[in-house]
Structure 1
Amino acid sequence: MIAIRIPYVIVAVISLATLVTLILMGRNLTCPCGWVDLWGSVNTSEGSQQVFDWYWPSHLLHGFIFYAILWAVARRVEIGWRLVIATLVECAWEIVENTNAVIERYREVTISLDYYGDSVLNSASDIAAMLFGFWLARRLPVWASLAIVVGFELLTLWIIRDNLTLNVIMLLYPVEAIADWQAGG
């Protein structure tokens, strides 16, 4: 019985260690604006400082994607250990995403001109979103998981002209036509 819980304890330790690392990196605990809101405004320096922002769905989708990949390549590994792997990847991204190099890259090649990194609170929410997405992917039929992924990609594309797909494209290989469209052109 105790052995079954070990992966979940490790997930909690990895998550907590990530938040401590972000604090040691100098990330703000909460919004320097002086208040905590549930939702940060898009295209403002406050956007990624609140509990949730418009990139929260991307982190939820990370959970679906990590679950699918690990199901495909590590199906025989117990689900708790697959969750440990997914958490390691998500937490590594949270740390890398909040380095000066990646923050500057976002500001140079994406529409995130006012991006100054996430608050620790926002990063905690992002990690929780991935965990929730992983849990949903395990419980839902494949068609429902796909519908959620496509639905959130279309929703954020429509509302903020950005989503996980465009974010990855623009971060790795910026396309001027996409940047122009995102800017409202």
Structure 2
Amino acid sequence: MGSRRVAWIAIPVLIAITVTILLAMGRPPICACGTISLWHGAINSSEDSQQLSDWYSFSHVIHGFLFFGGGWLLLRRYAAPVRLILAVALESGWEILENSPVIIDRYRTATIALGYNGDSVLNSVSDIGMMMLGFLFAARMPVKVTVLTAIAFELFTLWMIRDNLTLNILMLAAPVDAIRVWQAGA
């Protein structure tokens, strides 16, 4: 069986397993508001991380860039579809971890996401899809274009919401009070 065919089977199975685990963890299938929106742009609201896409979708696209690059560096002997399966497994693992009480509490205490309650299952599946888009983009574009796109996404979200993947990682790993104050708009 070819690697593309394996990917067509493995990726939906990984996503189904992730959905099952998230539902078992008590994650809501969709926003508690009862609606499904393509985009939700208000940060620190009850619909943040509940809809199909939001400001943090850019970060998940960058995950795809990074997973493609890491796979190319470390797993070059494997076909791209196999590396994509591994990227989906990593992103799925992150979605499960991100929605665990320990990480939700960490977001609340270490970042500006004071009211963060975790993602809806819909948002988590969309985040996995965003990562896949990033992976496929990086697979088809020159490295320079992918790097410039990642930088543009980081600068754009920094300007729009005072947050991005870089700050998210920093604030989860080693919170800086001055950054938290700046992010809060003070």
1:44 lines up with 2:71 in the alignment: no
Equivalences for residues 106-185 of structure 1 within 5 A: 106-185=107-186
CA distance change for structure 1 residues 94 and 5 in 2, over 3 Å: closer, same or farther?
same
Distance 1:3 1:38 in 2: 32
* Displacement after TM superposition at 1:3 (Å): 5.1
The runs of 4+ residues in structure 1 deviating greater than 2 Å are: 1-4
Give 3-state SS (helix, strand or coil) of 1:43's partner: coil
Conservation of the 8 A alpha-carbon contact between 2:111 and 2:180: yes
* Displacement after TM superposition at 1:35 (Å): 1.5
Scaled by the length of structure 2, the TM-score of the pair is 0.96
Note the residue ranges of structure 2 that are not aligned, 5 or more in a row.
Answer: none
Distance 2:148 2:2 in 1: 36
- In the alignment, what sits opposite 1:84? 85
Conservation of the 8 A alpha-carbon contact between 2:3 and 2:79: no
Given residue 14 of structure 2, which amino acid in structure 1 is its aligned partner?
A: I
Percent pairwise identity:
48
* Displacement after TM superposition at 1:2 (Å): 4.6
Conservation of the 8 A alpha-carbon contact between 2:27 and 2:121: yes
Note the residue ranges of structure 1 that are not aligned, 5 or more in a row.
Answer: none
* Displacement after TM superposition at 1:8 (Å): 3.0
Scaled by the length of structure 1, the TM-score of the pair is 0.96
Distance 1:140 1:3 in 2: 21
- In the alignment, what sits opposite 2:67? 66
Conservation of the 8 A alpha-carbon contact between 1:60 and 1:132: yes
For residues 7-66 of structure 1, the C-alpha deviation after alignment (integer angstroms, 9 at most, x for no partner) is 331122111110111111111111101212112221112111111111000000000000
